[in-house]
Amino acid sequence: MQGDIEATWGFGDMDEPADFDRSSVREAARAVLEAHWVAEGYAVPNPVAYPWQWLWDSCFHAVCWAELGDERCLVELRTALSAQSEDGFAPHINYAGDPGAAVELWGRRGASSITQPPMYGHAVAELARRGADVGGETVERAERGLRFLLVHRRRLPNGLVALCHPWESGADDSPRWDDFCPGGFSLDAWRPMKNRLLASILPSPAGSAVANPAFECASAGFNALVVFNAWELADVTGRSETTAMADELAACLGAQWDEALRTWTDSGASAPGSGRARTLDGLLPMLVASEAERVDAVAADLVDPAAYGGWCGPAGVHRDEPGFDPRSYWRGPAWPQLNYLIWLGLCRHGRHQEARQVAEATVRGAVRSGFAEYWDPDSGAGGGAAPQSWTALAALMA
């Protein structure tokens, strides 16, 4: 597949093209999505590394399909929400192709027992903006998914929604979780710790994760995406009780801004320590922030090569953080789905110059990496699975 992408672009050694050709980026994105499509009605992120359906991946895929004018946008979003529990909980993995897979890990058939950022609100809104008939059932499922988080998920004293596991944030090995790793972060210590944290999750009667006493953490990035997706869904459905709860959550999130660090911080057990690490997901509250001076600070740091700025997209971790590593999983590489969300935030706040810089750099990284899962923010050297289907978001940013 990487060879196909290189051929599409016409520079086999992945040298810098003189200019990005939007149609070629779209063709490359479509090629990846097409190659990853399965009969169950979704694109697998990567056929070898990620052979199932992941929640926020498929929400991003749906937006990509819609941008490409393909009706599979509706199919993929419906399938992503088809594993939803009776209480509204949307699991982060749907084992539609093999419901018996991973039963011992999750304690349930067909799906996982934890969630991921609820990007289905944004997906519904983006499909509707492009004229797709999303359908009442899909919209209702998206509403129920957000209500589950706002009503049934444990809240910390400051009002923020708590995570039940680091995987729920999508940022699996982020420096923000280092305080939860005995003795400080190392892969040898962190991998078994993540499995132990799964065992301490408290489920609802339907088997949905509602709390985890061993992982007291409310991620600023995750909470921002709950608010953002609720507001996006309201653009389609009109305001509701869910929207009002999201408004309250946004006010709570505003108190997490740290002026000295120029980021929003997490709350919970890691609040005095690793919850203050400067990471790209910690800037996602920009999507729902109203304070112009905070947006100014974030916009400046995103394109500053001494902060997050990179030739191939913003780094996932601030370069001054002690553990910054541009090629280590969630410790510094550029991630296309985070860059897309950051780009959206800049556009919506009218920071068009910075938005263009982020978009051009991200497309450059997508191409240089062969549409990889993530990449070095400076060189574009790919990491993780390649190609990875959420990197088709480059089609929207080209």
DSSP readout, 233-293? Answer: HHHHH---HHHHHHHHHHHHHHTTEETTTTEE--EETTTTTGGG--BGGGGGGGGG---HH
CA distances (Å), origin 3, targets 277, 336, 391: 38, 20, 16
Check residue 20 and give its pLDDT: 63
Give the tokens for residue 273: 């320590």
Q: What is the pTM of this model?
A: 0.95
Side-chain-side CA neighbours of 322 within 13 Å: the count stands at 8
Distance (Å) of CA 345 to CA 265, 302, 304, 388? 18, 12, 17, 23
Structure tokens at 5: 């992408």
Bridge partners (DSSP) of residue 268 are: 217
The pLDDT value given to residue 174: 97
pLDDT of residue 10: 34
Helix (H) / strand (E) element for 93: namely: strand 93-94
Q: What is the C-alpha to C-alpha distance for residues 267 and 286, in angstroms, rounded to an integer? A: 17
Tell the residue number behind the tokens 């011992």, with chain if given.
104
What are the residue ranges spanned by the domains of the chain? 2-397
Whole-number pLDDT of residue 22: 85
Question: Are 365 and 309 within 8 A, CB to CB?
Answer: no
pLDDT (tens place) for every residue of the chain, 398 residues total: 434 433 433 323 444 444 468 889 999 999 999 999 999 999 999 999 999 999 999 999 999 999 999 999 999 999 999 999 999 999 999 999 899 999 999 999 999 999 999 999 999 999 999 999 999 999 999 999 999 999 999 999 999 999 999 999 999 999 999 999 999 899 999 999 999 999 999 999 988 999 999 999 999 999 999 999 999 999 999 999 999 999 999 999 999 999 999 999 999 999 999 999 999 999 999 999 999 999 999 999 999 999 999 999 999 999 999 989 999 999 999 999 999 999 999 999 999 999 999 999 999 999 999 999 999 999 999 999 999 999 999 999 99
CATH, domain range 2-397: 1.50.10.10
CA torsion angle 273 274 276 277 (round to 10): 140
Please provide the DSSP assignment of 196-242 as one string: HHHHTPEEPTTS-EEE-TT--EE-HHHHHHHHHHHHHHHHHH---HH
What is the C-alpha to C-alpha distance for residues 285 and 227, in angstroms, rounded to an integer?
9
Q: What was the pLDDT predicted at 206? A: 87
